[in-house]
Structure 1
Amino acid sequence: MDSTQLALLALLVGVIVGGSVSAVTVAALRARDRARNEQVTDVPEGVREVLHGMDDAAVVIDSSFTVLAASAAATPFGLIEGTALPTEELRALSRRVRGSEAAVTAPSATETMRLRRGALPAEPRLVVVRATRISARLTLLVLRDITERERVEEMRRDFVANTSHELKTPVGAVSLLAEAIESAADDPPQVRIFATRLQAEASRLALLTSRIMNLSRLQAADELTLRDVSIDEVVASALDAHAIQADSAGVEVVRGGSRGHYVQGDAQVLSEAVGNLIANAIAYSPRGSSVGVGVKSVDGAIEIAVTDRGIGIAEGDQDRVFERFYRADPARARRTGGSGLGLSIVKHAVQRHGGEVRLWSRPGRGSTFTIRLPESAAPAVEPAPKRGRKKKRPAPAKPAVAPAPEPAANGEPA
């Protein structure tokens, strides 16, 4: 082998050795950087500021499931800096994303994750948790509370189902009565009976439809047109609207309390709310009893209390009587024509005016529903327009009158 070949061989060996050394060096550097990254648990710059500005609960955790940074909304869920994740569900989610660069959403479209929020007694909340890998040792968890959204959706489904059920009953009755009238066309007395029942079912259907529309209007986002409303006028309108019902039921309605109070609101909506309470009190009061409607001012609020001496409401039903279509006594409500929407309308009407409804009741002793509304000052009375001062006309000259003749001695004029 000549010298040229030896030189080429030596050069080749040098290249191979140099390449191997370089490869080993690069691999070692990469391994060092990887190990360094895996050991680093410092929260990246700016992450804490982002977390503090978030409305949702969010935390950054390390591989030991310790919370390194947290938003303010995360504290009620027990996600506090320096503590471990409180549930195994969150830990399992963190494990799934630690070895992947992709984000994972939990729960899936058909699963839910319930976490407890607040101190004892802790409230279970439905949350959607999104986990994102920040580094080999750091994971970001974002929790979005969807409890209220699910509750509203459930209420919407229940409302549609209950409305369909309630409307189906009078509609079916109207259809059957119409067929009965047609079949009894040759029997006038029977036709009159069916016609009376048909009219009653039609009135019930109209009332139910009207109340559903009122409730939908109160639950809409549209603002009410507020003005100075006299409570005396509201109560008087409600009493007049239910005077016939009270006379038919043999119940006396007594108005008491102070007068001259005003609130900011919609007079028609408030009259319907008070009227619904009066109608319920009359319907559930025995014949010969009385219903009291009292008004007073307490700590800047106007209280309108409607009290009856009826059957009362059991304690277990008092929290639910304001729900739509809920009836504490379904059989009696059917007999009295109740739709289960009256108290729900009252609740939403009062809430739209910034107030609240309170209930006191004892079975066998009666019930008292109290509407509390923010009191407003009485509207200023506009002064009467000033009339221009009329110029005084000079008095017309009196015609000269001849002096009466002096009587003569015999009493006759001379």
Structure 2
Amino acid sequence: MGATAQGKGSGGGARLLANKERILALWEERLRQEVSAAAGESHALLIDTLPVLLRQLAEAVSSQHPRRTATEGSTIAEEHGSERVRVTHFRLNDLITEYMLLREVLFAVLEESEPLSAAERNTLNASLDQAIAEACTGYVLVNEGLREQVFATLTHDLRGPLSAAKVNAGLILRQPSGEQVPRWAARVADSIDRADRLVQNLLDAMHMRMGGRPALSLEACDLVDAVRQGVENQQAEHGERFVLVAPEPVWGCFAPELLRRAVENLVSNAVKYGASSRPITITVRQGHGRAFILVHNHGSYIPAAQQARLFQAFQRLPGAEAGGKRGWGLGLAQVRGAAEAHGGSISVDSLPERGTTFTIDIPKDAPPLKDI
């Protein structure tokens, strides 16, 4: 458990607090260099709970504080591990590496001017060992929970379209010459498409969680055609709610199937959360060698504080969960993957007065990134 309160020194804790920001900065620099999953993450997501952990480390080495190790009486390390699963692409070994880097930076900074006492070193090492163990526990528990969630939701959500396809196929078998056969056949095709979208979104999300990007099957094509097909597929399911604005063809080298599914996910999201009495507008335009797909809906807006979570797989906003909207946070993750695979990005603009607009912004010529 480390040194007792009576045996702990007092200088190390003060030095730690005085150098906390420097320790975090050096640690973040090392982390971005040595852990590939950290390179593209924001400062806020990387820092996470570590400022609190450093404060508790300072308490643990102080003879005036009853805390014997940094995580005694605290769940801070376990929360850190669980958040690495939920909001980053960190693997378990990346999580361990970040704590090892923290240990190296911590001792290097604290012993620049004078060595720590044996009791302080013991307490810091015991604290960090315990933090690693608890963070790994949090990581594994959440990871196992995600797998269970995937299995349960996949089973539930696939059952609907597959059951509908089975029923309509049965009707065709019983009345192969009936007047309703074309309508029943269309329902079968639509149900299979819904099941396929679900499976493809899941595969893309799991691939991205492992640090990859969706595979690109590039071809010279008109982006408007891919968008139109995605909108028409949604019209078959949701009716004539959509307005496509595309004043001219947008020719380029794209993966049309991947972008079609991205459009379907954005449009489906707009149907789910937008005002049912207002149209959903899909705009395709180009400029400066780039192509843009904008999907706008009126109605509920997304607070700025929640926007960073939107494109993480298996993440749903509190309002969606509280409102009883079904889903499991895969659609927007697929959209982000499709945009980034083309060398572009996805952004959101949401205000109560103007509604919500998602924008896919990609270069018109994607081949330089096809092997990434």
TM-score by length of 2: 0.51
Q: How does 1:34-49 map to 2 (within 5 A)?
A: none
Shifted more, 242-251 versus 279-288: the winner is 279-288
Measure the CA separation in 2 of the matches of 1:215 and 1:79. 31
Residue from 359, 364, 367 that aligns with 2:356: 367
Shift of residue 313, structure 1, vs aligned partner: 2.5
Q: In structure 2, the residue corresponding to 1:293 is in which secondary structure?
A: strand
**Residues 53 and 70 in structure 2, CA contact (< 8 A), matched pair in contact too:** no
CA RMSD of aligned residues (A): 6.0
2:58 corresponds to which of 60, 66, 87: 87
1:139 maps to amino acid: R
Alpha-carbon distance, 1:240 to partner: 1.9
2:167 and 2:256 map into 1 onto residues whose CA distance is 43
CA gap 1:153/1:254 in 2 versus in 1, 3 angstroms: farther
Say which SS state the counterpart of residue 360 (structure 1) adopts. Answer: strand
- 1:207 is matched with 197
State the match for 2:10 in structure 1.
64
Aligned to 1:306: 294
2:151 maps to 1:164: yes
| Inter-partner Cα distance in structure 1 for 2:249 and 2:284 | 8
Secondary structure at the residue paired with 1:207?
Answer: helix
Aligned to 2:281: 291
Larger relative strand fraction: 1
On the 8 A contact 1:305/1:368 being kept in 2, the answer is no
Residue 219 of structure 1, aligned match among 201, 209, 215: 209
Matched AA of 1:245: Q
Which runs of 5 or more structure 2 residues have no equivalent in the other structure? 1-7, 26-49, 81-94, 108-114, 169-173, 176-180
Is the CA contact (8 Å cut-off) linking 1:312 and 1:366 kept in structure 2? yes
Once the two structures are TM-superposed, the CA of residue 343 in structure 1 deviates from its matched residue by 1.0
Residues 255, 164 of structure 1: alpha-carbon distance in 2 compared, 3 angstrom cutoff: same
- Deviation string, structure 1 residues 221-267 (Cα, Å, up to 9, x no partner): 4566669766x6344213223324337324221124784566xx755
Tell me, yes or no, if the aligned pair for 2:205 and 2:313 is still in contact at 8 Å: no
- Distance across 1 between alignment mates of 2:121 and 2:9: 8
- Secondary structure in 1 matching 2:11: coil
The amino acid of 2:152's aligned partner reads H
- Aligned residue identity for 2:242: V
Distance 1:245 1:373, change over 3 A: closer
Structure 2 partner of 1:233? 222
Question: CA separation in 1, counterparts of 2:141 and 2:268?
Answer: 29
Query: Which secondary structure state, in structure 1, belongs to the residue aligned with residue 360 of structure 2?
Result: strand
On the 8 A contact 1:281/1:306 being kept in 2, the answer is no
Over 3 Å counting, the alpha-carbon distance change for 1:195 and 1:113 in structure 2 is: same
Aligned partner of 2:85 in structure 1 is none
In 1: Cα distance, 2:232 partner to 2:186 partner: 22
Q: What's the CA shift for 1:368?
A: 0.8
Q: Show the 5 A alignment for 1:296-335.
A: 296-297=286-287, 302=290, 304-315=292-303, 318-324=307-313, 326=316, 328-329=319-320, 333=325
Question: Scaled by the length of structure 1, what TM-score is found?
Answer: 0.47
Q: 1:240 to 1:196 in 2, by over 3 A?
A: closer
C-alpha distance in 2, partners of 1:346/1:286?
A: 23
8 A contact 1:308–1:367 mirrored in 2 = yes
SS at match of 1:322: coil
SS in structure 1 of the partner of residue 356 of structure 2: strand
Residue 314 and residue 217 in structure 1: after superposition, are their counterparts in 2 closer, same or farther (change >3 A)?
Answer: closer
* Higher fraction of helix: 2
Distance 1:375 1:150, change over 3 A: farther
1:369 CA drift (Å): 0.5
- Counterpart residue type for residue 160 of structure 1: R
Residues 89/160 of structure 1: CA separation in 2 closer, same or farther (3 Å cut):
same
Q: Secondary structure at the match of 1:368?
A: strand
- In 2, Cα distance between equivalents of 1:290 and 1:306: 10
Structure 1 residues 342 and 222: alpha-carbon distance in aligned structure 2, compared to 1, 3 A threshold = closer
* 1:139 counterpart residue number: 121
The question of whether the paired residues in 2 share the 8 Å contact of 1:219 and 1:348 is answered with: no
Query: CA 1:155–1:168 in 2, change beyond 3 Å: closer, same or farther?
Result: same
Structure-2 residue corresponding to 1:246 = 235
After superposition, what is the alpha-carbon deviation per residue over 1:189-241, rounded to whole angstroms, capped at 9, x for unaligned?
xxx9x9999997766444322321232234344566669766x6344213223
TM-superposed CA distance for 1:367, in Å, is 1.8
Q: Which moved more, 1:163-172 or 1:128-137?
A: 128-137
Hey, what does 2:331 align to over in structure 1?
A: 342
Rounded Cα–Cα distance in structure 1 between residues aligned with 2:141 and 2:210: 17
1:10-61 Cα distance to aligned partner (Å, 9 max, x none):
xxxxxxxxxxxxxxxxxxxxxxxxxxxxxxxxxxxxxxxxxxxxxxxxxxxx
Give the letter for the 1:214 counterpart: D
- When residues 78 and 195 of structure 1 are mapped into structure 2, their CA distance, relative to the original with a 3 A threshold, is closer
Show structure 1 runs of 5+ residues with no match.
Answer: 1-61, 98-104, 118-124, 182-186, 380-414
Q: Contact between 1:361 and 1:367, CA under 8 Å: does it hold in 2? A: yes
The 1:174/1:113 distance shift into structure 2, 3 A limit, reads closer
For the pair shown, which has the larger CA radius of gyration, 1 or 2? 1
- What displacement does 1:344 show? 1.8
Instruction: Say if 1:155 and 1:313 are closer, same or farther in 2 by CA, change over 3 A.
Output: farther
% of aligned pairs identical? 20
- Output aligned runs, 1:110-125, within 5 Å: none
Between the aligned partners of 1:206 and 1:229, the Cα distance in structure 2 is 22
